[in-house]
Structure 1
Amino acid sequence: MSITRDIVFVDTQVKWHNADITLDLGTTTPGVYKAALWTDAVTPNASQANPAYGTSPWNGTSGGEASGPGYTTGGQALVVVSFAELVSTPGKTGWIVNDLLWTETTITAKGLLVYRASDGVAILLRAFAQSYPTNDGDFEVGMPTDGILRRAHVGPIL
């Protein structure tokens, strides 16, 4: 399998909601969360137990983290703007983060793994529509204005 769709890691979400782990998605301290680029060589699994950067398949050597000039293993700090109810969509929350930019890169990437920097806990994987290469150019990931992670809190539950 390869990167074909966005994933919110189930194990991380269950542990967060059961208070087994703490995820302060509202912190605006840069560097609490990081984002790393991945090639299509990784085999993501939404049901993976204890998904974390640095463990299989997210350890680069077995999974295909992007590599090349202009890219540092582990990705870069994610800057959180907010985690709150969306003004444009009452009843829905959004985790809003800044766009990411790697300059002067020669890499190829198909997805973006977002994880907690302190221990690697993987939160989500954003899939790109295709693999995107650069050749001594910029690699930019534009983030959705309504959040990289969105949740509806009203409407039918079942």
Structure 2
Amino acid sequence: MSRMPMFNSPLLLGFDQLERTLDRLAKNAEGYPPYNIERIGENGLRITLAVAGFTDDDLVIELVENQLMVRGKQADEGDRVYLHRGIAARQFQRAFMLADGIEVTGARLDNGLLSIDLVRPVLEPRIRTIRIDGGSAKVGAPDNTIDITARRSR
């Protein structure tokens, strides 16, 4: 049985990449490490991950296009013998998809909590009037129409 696309409305054109991104994020929805996302001020966001036992050298934060990736891997402690190990020390990878324009302004590790600050700049609305060309073109006149067939993916 084939799955029905989420964005199958004829009014939602070009959202197939967004649907693939949502599918990929749903597959990576592991619960470790736990995190919070909070609004900070008018245009700010903060992602806070609980990374007890990790140092800043054990953590990597990367932004690739619109995907914020947080990875953690602790160094192997071969000299320690645990009778009980309840604090998770496994490696992890947590991904967050950011909307266009969101910028990472900083990150800090404090008391086992990794906080990543983001800002969403205020965008001015873009209004553009599209010129409508008449059906009869003059011979020798420049063609100002857009060829949409050249933009179709093949």
TM-score normalised by L of structure 1? 0.29
* Rg larger in structure: 2
Q: Which has the larger share of strand?
A: 1
TM-score normalised by L of structure 2? 0.29
Indicate the structure whose relative CO is greater, using CA pairs within 8 Å and at least 6 residues apart. 1
